Structure 1
Amino acid sequence: MDDTWHSQITKHPPQDSILTYNQPKAQCDVYAVCGPFTICNDDDLPNCICMDGFTITSPLDWELEDRTAGCLRKTPLHCITNKNTTYSTDQFASLPCVRLPKNASKVEIATSAEECAQICLNNCSCTAYSFGDEGCYILHHELINIAQLQCGGTTKNSDGETLYFRLSAQDVQSSKNNRRQTVGVVVGTGLSALGLFGLGLLLMIWRNKRKRSPRKTYGSDGGRIIAFEYTDLQRATKYFTDKLGGGSFGSVFKGFLSDSHAIAVKMLEGAYQGEKQFRAEVSSVGAIQHINLVKLVGFCCHGPKRLLVYEHMPNRSLDIHLFKDDSTILNWTTRYQIALGVARGLAYMHESCRDYIIHCDVKPENILLDALFVPKIADFGMAKILGRDFSRALTTARGTIGYLAPEWIYGVAITAKVDVYSYGMVLPEIISGRRNSDASCSSGGDLGVFFPVHAARKLLEGDIKSLVDHKLQGDVNLAEVELACKVACWCIQDEEFDRPTMGEVVQILEGQVETRMPPMPRLLQAVAGSSCSTCS
């Protein structure tokens, strides 16, 4: 955390210190805000559109302004690999003046656009390429974070590149035919629009009259949230009868909006602030959007009651799947993607907003899973709306025992590295499927050994396979297990400056950056009562 943030926290008396939150400068700067195979445009509404040859994955979610599911192909690609030969009838469609994703790979051997295109066609996982002054770049699998730029009518400038994305030959031909028909369609549409405008205006008036209590929305166009009436939430939750869970902040209830969209309503306890300040804070939190952060749908102020409305996560929280015997067993690929998704969400909170957002309570219970087991970090930013009895200053200890960084104990000013430490404590639990504080290790019989210490020892001995959840029956990627163990050990170093940032964690887990064996944290070494000083 930089000196500006530190002075912001300490220049006021502790009782007046609060967290501040800001939304990104541009909607398209939010990671995966539009989902895969989309084009994001900050200068147009809606901000997200599908690429040619693709269609919206979930129209209902798009109507609710959640575009993170993105788009899917109308026609599958035709690419066959047989030993050393690849055959494909696919073609490319051009998309001028865009900002390329950061994960584009440079191909040094391609010296022309034709060679670059052929290299992409020869790889069935290649979905796009770009060739310019900097050479040939190719992209694999899903295309995410394609942003449209303003290039003054040219196909390319110093900031924009032309992206050639892969489509089936059928879709490329359909796209060309659609362009030929555009002129005629525009003329016909213009005439029809005049008649439809009057009809639509009458329909809007009729619908508005039917609404008994219209809802207000707050925030920017990219992050609007709804101000619900308390009676709306009573009806949606059947008077708060379907309880999903609860904690120190309050209780969570399942409900359904009038369009059958599932929601989770959190009723806060012990919180009271002025309505204006409450709504301003909620609006700020609501503008923070990321595929790995749970989405805030709206809020409610009703007398002293404060309620927050989130999207419902059908697969509940990560702890249920890791620690309960009667739950779904997560395979290794899913676990690794959960670890990577959580890292991306935290990196966004720490590094991509105008100010730091520190979660302060990263643990499996606060990692929710959607229908596809995509992780969503939940319960962040609550310190902003709690009364002084809960937390008076940023340095006041909070969180969950077992995931707390040493700085909480020392009472010093904390940084985003406390979240890095907590993340490092969650990783061994994802790997092993057991609590770090369980009385015994799954292998070796070392009773009373804190599991992260046991994991560090096994990492030294080269016996990482014994750390993996036995329910997976050995079906794991050992290289990924070793990488996750190294990351965990780096994240739980005693000194915060020895820990990586969450952005660096993402790069390591994605395989973009190599990492060496970490030293054994001294505090954990003391817990273990071991003479071993390093993991290397």
Structure 2
Amino acid sequence: MEFILFFLILSLSSIPVFGFTLTEFVYPNFTASNFQFVDSTGSFLVSRNGTFKAAIFNPGPEQVNFYLCVIHAESNTIIWSANGDAPVSTSGIMRLTKNGISITEKDGSFKWSTPPLKLAVYAMQLTEVGNLLLLDQFNGTLWQSFNNPTDTIVIGQKLRVGMMLSSAIAGDDLSTGRYRLSLTTSDAMLQWQGLTYWKLSMETKAYTNSNYAVEYMSVNQTGLYLFGQGGSVVVIMVNLLQSTFRIAKLDGSGQLIVISFVGSDIKRDFVGPVDGCRVPYACGGLGVCTSDVLSDNPKCSCPANFNLGSHNSSSCVPSDSSYSLPVSCHSTNHSNLSNYSSMLYIGLGYGMDYFTTDFTKPFRDGVNLSICQNLCSVDCSCLGIFYANLSGSCYKLEDEIGSIMLRTSRNDDLLGFVKTLVGVSTTLENNDNFDQEAEDFPLVAIVILPFTGIFLLMALGFILWIRSRPQRMGKIESKISQPSSPSSENLDAFSIPGLPVRFQYKQLKAATDNFKTQIGTGGFGAVYKGVLPDNTVVAVKKIINLGIQGQRDFCTEIAIIGNIHHINLVKLKGFCAQGRQRLLVYEYMNRGSLDRTLFGHAPVLEWQERVEIALGSARGLAYLHSGCEQKIVHCDVKPENILLHDNFQAKISDFGLSKLLNREESSLFTTMRGTRGYLAPEWLTSSAISDKTDVYSFGMVLLEIVSGRKNCSLRTLSHSLDDSATGDHSSSLSAQGLVYFPLFALEMHEQGRYLELADPKLEGRVSGGDVEKFVRIALCCVHEEPCLRPTMVSVVSMLEGEIPPTAPRMESLNFLRFYGRRFSEASNVEEAGGQIDAMLYPQANTSHTTSRSISNAYFSYISSQQISGPR
């Protein structure tokens, strides 16, 4: 008998037990799954009269993704879903406990839950209006679906100010889509990427009473309403035909649709915007949208010079494969601009428009097209522009470009332009294509090409002849690198037409009174004051410890400085290359270097003088990067290499480490160069070194100009920056109060406390706005990713006020927190009687590119000695 009973129990346990639908209430320790409730919708709960049901439901034809839904039973329309962004499989489980609702997979992996509740759950109720409630033992509401809407509201539901609807991606994919309906105190508006593209008050059917503030939106039997004054005042109203049941839904198309249900019939009562082309992504990225009066569906195409992308993409891309569309720096997949040779704008022509031109003010008014494009070029989030010819209004298209509207009935003067990056054209994908093209190769080309080759060889010979002068300079450098060889005697007689004067060693020895007055020193020698026979005061750099690198730097400095002339660059007057003696003769800068004026005991620099120094230095670097025939990267920008003349005119000096680049070239150096504290992170990761490396160094200098102190000096904060002023202990401070200033500047920027960054010696003679401008520019310059840093041309424009300073990208400045930590650790060791270098580990593995690995390498990679070239 016991055996039979055991067998019966075992048999019953192997038979699936299917649930049955409950009415109105379920109680804790209840579970449901689609597998368990196997009716057509997987419903486990219905409202009192069966108008709504709750179900573990899959809305698509393929039974893959399941959601906890509230469904209008008659029309089988979903009005709310819980786990839209985290669907479960058919065996996924919903559990109701005293703590609330949770949804997991069968294996227990978490998908969704209600937030923590104040009291224990007594019951879950589905009401006759479709509201899913969690109740306590006193019948009080702990949580309700009406307060957590998805893409739909129903009769009896209030969408209050601050709430929003989010579209689903598709009817069978309930994950969050692109569009939002937000409610403010004045209107209901549709938005895409945070940009408004429609307002309810725009509709011709809408009645508006602007004397009251909106409190909530609702839909009822007679229309769509925005109410104020607790529901007693209608602020905006759209009257509709009477209907027993209707919903307002933010459709996946980006339109707000009001739908009525009469039996099994579904009717659209209202659509906004009615023109589908006003929806930002109606035709995908850069698709041209044309309204079709005969159809609700707009027609889509690509602009001239664009076509649909590959892999079934809905977005348009340049037809020429050598052109690429950049990705905004706000995206995690933003473009690395250093991989491209240049930036160009492709015009969209007249008759085009964009939704933002009706809802946002121009970024700038009264500018020409060139300035409008430049404003976009310096903004890594800007992907294109629209420009109004008559008004000079400039509109930016930022972060992502939506669809373009074709204006068939409006003849305005808007011009659209898309930013593109120009790189190397793609090669043929496979040899089959190449073979096919070879078969189709015209016979006439076989005859013409040999003669074309002859002409190309002649052109190549001409180019080589033109370039022979730099090659001769290379031969000179080779001779200098072997001064003890017999051929070095020929160096004494060489002269380079157009370059600075060649001096005899005895002339410079006499001019400097046997090198009596030293005015500076550097890694490769010293600088002396001298007076030439014509009474011209000069600075003579005497290079010692030359070595092979010093010999290269010597020739580089002659070749670079001798051929460029700019008011903010130190002029090289001459040189000496006699035997083993190597000297450079510069114009004399009577106020010395910026570091002595800024950090020494000289009279305090007033703020306007600091502005002039920063602007002059930036102009000099901008000329090196953009104004020369070949782009020149300085590689050692620091206060010691910024010299001051009368009226604090700043001039960049010391080009011994410079790297000449072609216009489109981004090159790798084989050895690290520069000075600790000003080295960009890419030096430590074997990344490409470009003009953006100088931008980083300039940003560090700009912070020192603001503070009047070294960024990496071991100095305590002033009394105005103690804990009582800053509140919590800042991460920039060590236990002894030592500060890594770039990190402190970042923290004060985050708190908007800019005056605390100003040099205390200014004693309040500077405004917070002026300091903020410098700090914002400096932080933009020191972004970890080079492509996020502005160009020096843009920096000049920002300092001059031509364009506003861009907002620093916080995610690209987090590496400063690691730098600050290493500085504090090293500082603490020195305070304990050790040396900072005791904290420095062997050379870091430079293959890592993360912020943490860079920060760990930063102070360990560079010794405490400067490694710059001759000064």
- Asked if residue 471 in structure 1 is aligned to residue 747 in structure 2, the reply is no
- Asked if residue 406 in structure 1 is aligned to residue 681 in structure 2, the reply is yes
Identity %: 44
Q: State the AA in 2 paired with 1:525.
A: R
Question: 1:460 Cα shift?
Answer: 2.1
- Asked if residue 312 in structure 1 is aligned to residue 604 in structure 2, the reply is no
Structure-1 separation of matches of 2:560 and 2:785: 32
Q: Say which of 721, 739, 759 aligns to 1:444.
A: 721
Counterpart of 2:700 in structure 1 is 425
Matched-pair contact (CA < 8 Å) for 1:395–1:408: no
Structure-2 separation of matches of 1:257 and 1:395: 39
Counterpart of 1:242 in structure 2 is 517
> For residues 65-80 of structure 1, what are the structure 2 equivalents within 5 Å?
none
> For residues 265-414 of structure 1, what are the structure 2 equivalents within 5 Å?
265-271=540-546, 282-324=558-600, 326-382=601-657, 394-414=669-689
- Asked if residue 525 in structure 1 is aligned to residue 817 in structure 2, the reply is yes
Unaligned runs of 5+ residues in structure 2 are 1-336, 343-364, 369-389, 392-492, 661-666, 723-732, 823-850, 852-871
Quick one: structure 1 residues 296 and 312, their matched pair in 2 at CA, closer, same or farther if it must change by over 3 Å? same
Higher helix share: 1
Counterpart of 2:484 in structure 1 is none
Structure-2 separation of matches of 1:403 and 1:242: 29
- Asked if residue 494 in structure 1 is aligned to residue 494 in structure 2, the reply is no
Structure-2 separation of matches of 1:225 and 1:498: 38
Q: Please give the TM-score of this superposition, normalised by the length of structure 1.
A: 0.55
Counterpart of 1:10 in structure 2 is none
> For residues 128-167 of structure 1, what are the structure 2 equivalents within 5 Å?
none
Matched-pair contact (CA < 8 Å) for 1:254–1:262: yes
> For residues 88-103 of structure 1, what are the structure 2 equivalents within 5 Å?
none
Question: 1:283 Cα shift?
Answer: 4.5
Structure-2 separation of matches of 1:480 and 1:229: 49
SS at match of 1:255: strand
Question: 1:305 Cα shift?
Answer: 1.2
**Cα distance per residue 1:159-204 (max 9 Å; x no partner):** xxxxxxxxxxxxxxxxxxxxxxxxxxxxxxxxxxxxxxxxxxxxxx
**Cα distance per residue 1:400-419 (max 9 Å; x no partner):** 11111001111223111111
SS at match of 1:488: helix
Quick one: structure 1 residues 243 and 280, their matched pair in 2 at CA, closer, same or farther if it must change by over 3 Å? closer
Structure-2 separation of matches of 1:277 and 1:327: 32
Q: State the AA in 2 paired with 1:482.
A: E
Counterpart of 1:28 in structure 2 is none
**Cα distance per residue 1:343-396 (max 9 Å; x no partner):** 1110110111121211111111111001221001111134689xxxxxx97242
Quick one: structure 1 residues 463 and 512, their matched pair in 2 at CA, closer, same or farther if it must change by over 3 Å? same
SS at match of 2:634: coil
Structure-2 separation of matches of 1:276 and 1:382: 9
Q: State the AA in 2 paired with 1:347.
A: A
Quick one: structure 1 residues 357 and 269, their matched pair in 2 at CA, closer, same or farther if it must change by over 3 Å? same
Matched-pair contact (CA < 8 Å) for 1:317–1:366: yes
Q: State the AA in 2 paired with 1:363.
A: K
Quick one: structure 1 residues 433 and 301, their matched pair in 2 at CA, closer, same or farther if it must change by over 3 Å? same
Quick one: structure 1 residues 280 and 414, their matched pair in 2 at CA, closer, same or farther if it must change by over 3 Å? closer
- The structure that has the greater radius of gyration is 2
Unaligned runs of 5+ residues in structure 1 are 7-104, 109-133, 136-214, 386-391
Quick one: structure 1 residues 235 and 269, their matched pair in 2 at CA, closer, same or farther if it must change by over 3 Å? same
Counterpart of 2:746 in structure 1 is 456
Greater length-normalized contact order (CA 8 Å, ≥ 6 residues apart): 1
Matched-pair contact (CA < 8 Å) for 2:641–2:654: yes
Structure-2 separation of matches of 1:384 and 1:428: 25
Higher strand share: 2
Matched-pair contact (CA < 8 Å) for 2:668–2:688: no
Question: 1:4 Cα shift?
Answer: 9.5
Structure-1 separation of matches of 2:553 and 2:802: 43
The number of residue pairs the alignment matches comes to 320
Question: 1:528 Cα shift?
Answer: 4.5
Structure-1 separation of matches of 2:553 and 2:682: 30
Structure-2 separation of matches of 1:431 and 1:268: 33
Q: State the AA in 1 paired with 2:541.
A: K
Q: Say which of 242, 260, 263 aligns to 2:535.
A: 260
Matched-pair contact (CA < 8 Å) for 1:226–1:298: yes
Matched-pair contact (CA < 8 Å) for 2:668–2:689: no
Matched-pair contact (CA < 8 Å) for 2:560–2:655: no
Question: 1:463 Cα shift?
Answer: 1.4
**Cα distance per residue 1:265-319 (max 9 Å; x no partner):** 0011243789999779625421111111111000011101111000011100111
Counterpart of 1:515 in structure 2 is 805
Quick one: structure 1 residues 489 and 407, their matched pair in 2 at CA, closer, same or farther if it must change by over 3 Å? same
- RMSD between superposed Cα atoms in Å: 3.5
Larger mean CA deviation between 439-448 and 247-256 belongs to 439-448
Q: State the AA in 1 paired with 2:582.
A: R
Structure-1 separation of matches of 2:514 and 2:695: 39
SS at match of 2:769: helix
Question: 1:441 Cα shift?
Answer: 2.9
Matched-pair contact (CA < 8 Å) for 2:635–2:674: yes
Structure-2 separation of matches of 1:490 and 1:500: 7
- Deviating beyond 3 angstroms after TM superposition, the runs of 4 or more aligned structure 1 residues are 1-6, 105-108, 215-220, 270-281, 381-385, 527-530
**Cα distance per residue 1:70-107 (max 9 Å; x no partner):** xxxxxxxxxxxxxxxxxxxxxxxxxxxxxxxxxxx989
Q: Please give the TM-score of this superposition, normalised by the length of structure 2.
A: 0.34
Quick one: structure 1 residues 242 and 393, their matched pair in 2 at CA, closer, same or farther if it must change by over 3 Å? farther
SS at match of 1:327: coil
Question: 1:398 Cα shift?
Answer: 1.3
Q: State the AA in 1 paired with 2:802.
A: Q
Quick one: structure 1 residues 291 and 311, their matched pair in 2 at CA, closer, same or farther if it must change by over 3 Å? same
Q: State the AA in 2 paired with 1:456.
A: L
SS at match of 1:372: helix
Structure-1 separation of matches of 2:759 and 2:779: 18
Structure-2 separation of matches of 1:427 and 1:335: 9
Matched-pair contact (CA < 8 Å) for 1:406–1:494: yes
**Cα distance per residue 1:456-502 (max 9 Å; x no partner):** 21122221111111111111143221111001111111110011111
Q: State the AA in 2 paired with 1:361.
A: D
Q: State the AA in 1 paired with 2:651.
A: K
SS at match of 1:420: helix
Quick one: structure 1 residues 413 and 277, their matched pair in 2 at CA, closer, same or farther if it must change by over 3 Å? closer
